[in-house]
Amino acid sequence: MADVNTLSTKTGGPAPRHRVVIIGSGFGGLFGTKALRHADVDVTVIARTTHHLFQPLLYQVATGILSEGEIAPSTREVLAKQKNARVVLGEVTDIDLEHRLVKHHLLGRETVTPYDSLIVAAGAGQSYFGNDRFAEFAPGMKSIDDALELRGRIFGAFELAELAAAKGEPVDHLLTFVVVGAGPTGVEMAGQIAELSRHTLKRDFRAINSKQARVILIDAAGQVLPPFGKKLGAKTKAALENLGVEVQLGAMVSDVDERGLVVRDKDGTERRIEAVTKIWAAGVQASSLGQTLAEQSGASIDRAGRIGVNPDLTLPGYPEVFVVGDMIALNNLPGVAQVAIQGAKYAAKEIKGRLNGKPQQRPFKYFDKGNLATISRFDAVAAIGKLRLSGFIAWLIWLGVHLIYLTGFKNQVTALLHWTVTFLSNDRSQRTATEQQIFARQALKRLPRGASELVSDPGHFEERRAELEATAAEEARLTDSGERGRVAPERV
Ligand SMILES: Cc1cc2nc3c(=O)[nH]c(=O)nc-3n(C[C@H](O)[C@H](O)[C@H](O)COP(=O)(O)OP(=O)(O)OC[C@H]3O[C@@H](n4cnc5c(N)ncnc54)[C@H](O)[C@@H]3O)c2cc1C
C-alpha cells in the first residue's frame, strides 16, 4: 500500500504552509530548491539518485581524472542547512495533475506526495534513436553508473589486450575505442581516451603499446561541435586529429554488437569496425514524465520527448506546474545547464511572487552565457556571444567556469588537486574499476523487477529481530566469559 507523505501538519496546529514539490536533483532541481530557501514554503525534492550530478564532468570520471563524489555530492548534504527543504529518494512514476499528487517508488515501496506547486526538472536520458538494444554494448554518458561502467570498460580493454598480446592473440579490436556523437561530450571523451593511451598509460603495460590504441570519433553530421559554429568545429577536428583521433563525419551507425559496430557512409556503403569499447554520446531523450504530463494536459511533445510549455514555463492548463531544463521544448532553447538553472530560478521566483501577491513576471527569457568544450589538456574551445576562442585561453576559461559551478567547496578543492596532478604530470588517480561496475547493470536488468527483487519487505526484518538479538547476546557472552578459542569439553 502507498504511504502518503505529508509535511508535519497536525490537526489543530498552525495553517499548513504552501507545499512545493520538486522532481529531480540535477541543475533545475537543486537551483530551484535553493532559490526557495527564504520563502515561506515547504519544499520536497524527490529524485531517483542520492546525489546532485554535475554532468559536464562525467567524462573525467569515466577516464580516471576525478572521483564520482567530486562531481556528485549528496543532495541531502548540499541542502542540509536549508531548513524548509527535505530530500526524498525515489523514482517518480506518475503525476496526478487533477489531484495534485506525485507518486514515487523506492525498492518496491510506493509513496504519494501532495503538492500545491510542482517543479518538474527530471532532465533527459540517452537516445539510441529507436535502437535501444545498442545500449548494452555502447553505454551512454548520463549518470554516475554510466561513467563508472565506461571507466571499467576503457581500462578493462587495455587489461584484456595485455593478456591477449602476451599469448600472441590479436588485440586490434580491444585497442579500438569508438565514440559515437561529435558534440561536446563525444569530443571530450575522444580527446581524453587519446591522452590516456598516448600519455597516462604509456609506461604501464609490457605486452602492448598503449600508444597504438585507435580512437575513432563518429558522427552522422558533417562537422564536429555544430553548436560552436563552423570555424571552431574545424579547429576542434584538426586538434583532435593532431592528438591521434580519427574523426569520421557523415557516418551513421547502423548496428552495434559486443565486438564492434556497423557504419553506413554517406555514399551508402556499409563497413564494420571491430571495437570492443563503444561509447554512445549521440542523442538525448527527455524524461518519460514529459509524456505523463502531456497525456493529462494535452501539451505537445516533440521527437526528443520534450514537452511544449507556456512562455512562463507552466504546463498548459496547469499554472501550478512548472517544467524546466532538458525536458522542455520552448523557443529552440538548448539542452544546457544554464537553461535549467535559469528556468528553475524563474519558476521559484514566480511561486514566491504569487504567495506575496506580486504580479506575474514577464515570459521566461534565457540569457546565453556561451558554450565551452575541452579537447585535451590546455586546449579547449569557447563560443561566448560573438567571441570565438580556442587553445589555452579557452581552456583557462573552461577551468574557471567549471570550478565555480562545481557544487561544494570540498569538491572544488579536491577537483583542483586532481586536475593539477593530471594536467601537470599526465597521471590519473581515479583508475579503480571493478567487475561489478562493468557487469552489474546488465545482471540487474535481467531481473524482472530489478533491484527490488533483491530486498525483502520491511516485515521480514521484524520477524528476525529476536533471532538477531539472541545471536548478539551469545556473541557478547562468549567474549565476556572468555570461552572463545576454548576447546569444548565433550571434544577433549
Ligand atoms: C555528459 C554531459 C555533458 C554535458 N556538458 C555540458 C556542458 O559542458 N555545459 C552545459 O551547459 N551543459 C552540459 N550538459 C547538459 C546539462 O548537464 C543539462 O542540460 C542539465 O543537466 C539539465 O538540467 P536538468 O535539471 O533539466 O536535468 P538533470 O540535471 O539531468 O537532472 C535531472 C534530475 O532528475 C532526476 N530524475 C529523472 N527522472 C526521474 C524520475 N522519474 N524520478 C525522480 N527523479 C528523476 C535525475 O536523477 C536528476 O536528478 C551536459 C550533459 C551531459 C550528459
Beta bridge partners of 4: 112
DSSP state letters, 29-94: HHHHHHHTTTSSEEEEEEESSSB---GGGHHHHHTTSS-HHHHS-BHHHHTTT-TTEEEEE-EEEE
Which DSSP category does 265 fall into?
A: -
Q: Are strands 307-308 and 176-180 parallel, antiparallel or unpaired?
A: unpaired
Integer-rounded Cα Rg, in Å, for the chain is 26
The 8-class DSSP code of residue 228 comes to G
Q: Which atom of ligand 1 is nearest to the CA of 24?
A: 34
Residue 327's pLDDT is 98
Can you say whether the dihedral through the CA atoms of 235, 241, 245, 247 is positive or negative? Answer: positive
Instruction: Quote the CA–CA distance of 322 and 309 in Å, as a whole number.
Output: 8
Which of 21, 22, 27 should be mutated for ligand 1, with most atoms under 8 A from CB? 27
β-pairing, 176-180 with 214-219? Answer: parallel
Cell digits of residue 422:
593530471
CA nearest to 58, candidates 213, 184, 233:
184
What residue owns the CA closest to ligand 1's atom 33? 24
Q: What contacts 47, CB < 8 A, 6 or more positions away?
A: 23, 24, 25, 26, 29, 75, 87, 88, 89, 90
Task: Tell me the domain boundaries of the chain.
Answer: 3-8+16-48+90-127+285-355, 132-282+377-444
Output the residue whose Cα is nearest ligand 1's atom 38.
Answer: 122
Nearest CA to ligand 1 atom 52: 55
Contact yes or no for 293/321 (Cβ under 8 A): yes
Query: What is the per-residue pLDDT for 146?
Result: 96
Question: What is the tens place of the pLDDT at every residue in 402-411?
Answer: 999 998 888 9
313 DSSP 8-state letter: S
Sign of the torsion angle spanned by Cα atoms 58, 62, 66, 71: positive
Residue whose C-alpha cell is 587553445:
391
| Fold observed for domain 3-8+16-48+90-127+285-355 | FAD/NAD(P)-binding domain (3.50.50)
**Cα gap 277→157, rounded to integer Å:** 7
Beta strands 18-23 and 117-120, pairing class: parallel
Predicted local distance difference test score (pLDDT) of residue 8: 42
Indicate the DSSP class of residue 393: H
Position in ligand 1 atom list of the atom nearest CA 281: 1
pLDDT for the residue 458 = 65
Strand partners, 51: 74
| Rounded distance between C-alpha atoms, residue 290 and residue 326, angstroms | 10
Distances 371 to 188, 240, 342, 368, 419 between C-alpha atoms, Å: 13, 18, 16, 9, 21
Cα of 73 vs centre of ligand 1, distance in Å, is 14
Tell me the CB-side half-sphere exposure of residue 22, using CA atoms within 13 A.
33
Give the integer Cα–Cα distance in Å for 72 and 91.
Answer: 18
- Using one digit for the tens of pLDDT, what is the confidence trace for 11-51? 456 678 999 999 999 999 999 999 999 999 999 999 999 99
287: Cβ below 6 Å to ligand 1? yes
User: What is the Cα–Cα distance from 374 to 56, expressed in whole angstroms?
Assistant: 11
Three-state DSSP state, 387 = strand
Q: What is the value of pTM for the model shown?
A: 0.92
Residue nearest to atom 35 of ligand 1 (CA): 24
Query: CB of 185 closer than 6 A to ligand 1?
Result: yes
Q: Which atom of ligand 1 is nearest to the CA of 371?
A: 9
The active-site residue, picked from 188, 195, 241, 435, is: 188
Which positions of the chain have pLDDT values less than 70?
1-14, 458-461, 488-492
pLDDT value at residue 3 = 58
**Mean pLDDT, the chain, integer:** 93
Is residue 188 annotated as a catalytic residue, yes or no? yes
Pick one of 3.30.428.10, 2.60.40.1220, 3.40.50.1980, 3.50.50.100 as the CATH number of 132-282+377-444. Answer: 3.50.50.100
Give the pLDDT confidence score for residue 391 in this predicted structure: 96
Can you tell me the distance from the alpha carbon of 184 to that of 161, in angstroms, rounded to the nearest whole number? 29
Quote the pLDDT of residue 484. Answer: 86
